[in-house]
Structure 1
Amino acid sequence: MQLFYNPSLDNSAKQFIFPPDESKHIVRVLRKSEGDIVHITNGKGYLFEAEILEPDQKRCRARITSQRKSIPKRYKLHLVVAPTKMNDRYEWFLEKATEIGVDEITPIICDHSERKTIKLERMERVLQAAMKQSLQTVLPQINPPISCRDFLESDTTVGLKFIAHCQNGEKMELKRRVIADNDVTILIGPEGDFSKEEIDLAKEKGYIPIALGRNRLRTETAAIVACTTVAMINN
């Protein structure tokens, strides 16, 4: 199944006109013709089935024939992850976390961060592509970057809250801390790790230090391990 994405589509829609780039893809690449069926999601949990009425390369028009809403997960996962030095590594994390099942992502700028700027629009496109590729109907939310301290000071998160860091101290493995059907927020720092001050502030705000295994992991690897662990506990 080929899945298309359009956030403006709602459950009252009767017809839909694809934008020029998707119209061209449908007609020239997929070779769809009148009467063929395509699938669209609005990223809000709805999957629409549509019949092509006009297979025009610039303005492909389709009629909505059915719709269904996916059953929401019993938990939400928020990954708060520092940008990596190389953009492609962070994009890889976004792609794989979307495939596995993340609900919200916040890039945080830390004391030891080497990269302090990100291209939010590009990351949105990565999330959209990963959602479509994995045939999901809910697009993860990505927030504007924020400093670690500002995030913690303004944090109103409910549910389980963890911080993964490399400094010595008492830590339990994440898989022994996660409880099924509970919302989870996990902080993961940059290649240079969180500073002591950031860790202390996180603890003050109720974040519990956790380990993600015996080996030291790159930022993007740690985020994927955390995402996978939470998903497995909830399956």
Structure 2
Amino acid sequence: MQKTHFFETHFFCEQISGQKTVVLSHEESHHIKKVLRLRPGTHIKLSDGKGLVAVGKIGEITSPQIHVELISQSQIERKAMLHLAVACLKDRHLEDVLEHCAQLPLGSFTLLRTQHSLEPRKSNLQATTRRLQQKAVVALKQSLTPWLCQVRGPVYLKDWLTEQKQPLIVCDPQGESTLPTHILADLNTNLPSGDNEPIILVGPEGGFSPEEIEVFKQNNAFFYKLGDTRLRARTAPIVALSSILAMSQSLNERR
């Protein structure tokens, strides 16, 4: 029997708001036609990555790009999110980190150039950034979240710090095993975008330099210990993000 709807994923389309019909990208159209083999008339869900989710009906599948007639739209209220700032690693390691972390409530992912960051010689970080944004779209579809993680950078750590006003959580072996309650309490609450949302900083293999640690202290950063074992730089962001989210959820359940 032909399915009348397919809601197992969100198809990404940036231009939804105020539209009656939208045209999907070549990538999304190919996924619908060749991978999922959906038929005209099937109802699907679309997300613009900015909190807007729509239900639409697939039109005729005759051209390379599929037209979708929008039936309904709903704006999802944004909740406070964590942000990640990660020292540059080898390209494929960065992609792995982003694809896993962006499936969780993550507002942004920033690439940092630090004293010990591992940028492969001849690496094209601008091209890497574009691939990371594509990975963020994949994560949005997988997790069914209406909010697309924003990829930023690469930027030098010193320059980046001068623009930050949000709480900083630095992952460091000498840090504390818990975080202040006021940082955790703000997560999972409805706040304006970026309002007091913490940023988790993860260094490269070998960690941040002593000079960088001192700068963090001058910026009133909180130092957070991820456990008693030594983690790879590509593992630490996933552990940090998931553990802090778990602590926040536990705190809110007790309140």
Q: With structure 1 as the length reference, what TM-score do the two structures score?
A: 0.88
CA contact (8 A) 2:10 2:45 kept: yes
- State the percentage of identical aligned residues: 28
Q: Which structure 2 residue ranges, 5 or more long, are not aligned?
A: 1-7, 188-196, 250-255
Residue 169 of structure 2 aligns with an amino acid whose one-letter code is F
From 59, 77, 86, the equivalent of 1:81 is 86
Q: Which residue of 1 aligns with 2:148?
A: 139
CA contact (8 A) 2:45 2:56 kept: yes
Seen in structure 2, the aligned counterparts of structure 1 residues 28 and 92 have a Cα distance that, compared at 3 Å, is closer
Q: Which residue of 2 aligns with 1:60?
A: 66
1:179 partner SS: helix
From 24, 39, 42, the equivalent of 1:33 is 39
Supply the RMSD in Å over aligned alpha carbons: 1.9
Across the two proteins, how many residue pairs are aligned to each other? 227
Q: Which residue of 2 aligns with 1:102?
A: 106
Partners of 2:109 and 2:220 lie apart in 1 by: 19
1:100 partner SS: coil
Q: With structure 2 as the length reference, what TM-score do the two structures score?
A: 0.82
**What's the CA shift for 1:11?**
2.1
CA contact (8 A) 2:16 2:22 kept: no
Q: Which structure 1 residue ranges, 5 or more long, are not aligned?
A: none
**What's the CA shift for 1:228?**
0.5
Seen in structure 2, the aligned counterparts of structure 1 residues 95 and 181 have a Cα distance that, compared at 3 Å, is same
1:120 corresponds to 2:129: yes
Q: Which residue of 2 aligns with 1:211?
A: 225
Q: Which residue of 2 aligns with 1:155?
A: 163
Partners of 2:209 and 2:30 lie apart in 1 by: 50
Structure 1 stretches of at least 4 aligned residues deviating more than 4 Å after TM superposition: 175-178
Q: Which residue of 2 aligns with 1:223?
A: 237
Seen in structure 2, the aligned counterparts of structure 1 residues 216 and 24 have a Cα distance that, compared at 3 Å, is closer
**What's the CA shift for 1:101?**
1.8
CA contact (8 A) 2:16 2:54 kept: no
1:180 corresponds to 2:185: yes
Partners of 1:124 and 1:175 lie apart in 2 by: 30
**What's the CA shift for 1:27?**
2.7
**What's the CA shift for 1:56?**
2.1
From 40, 44, 48, the equivalent of 2:50 is 44
CA contact (8 A) 1:45 1:137 kept: yes
Partners of 1:19 and 1:100 lie apart in 2 by: 25
CA contact (8 A) 1:23 1:56 kept: no
CA contact (8 A) 1:174 1:212 kept: no
Partners of 1:174 and 1:220 lie apart in 2 by: 22
Partners of 2:214 and 2:30 lie apart in 1 by: 54
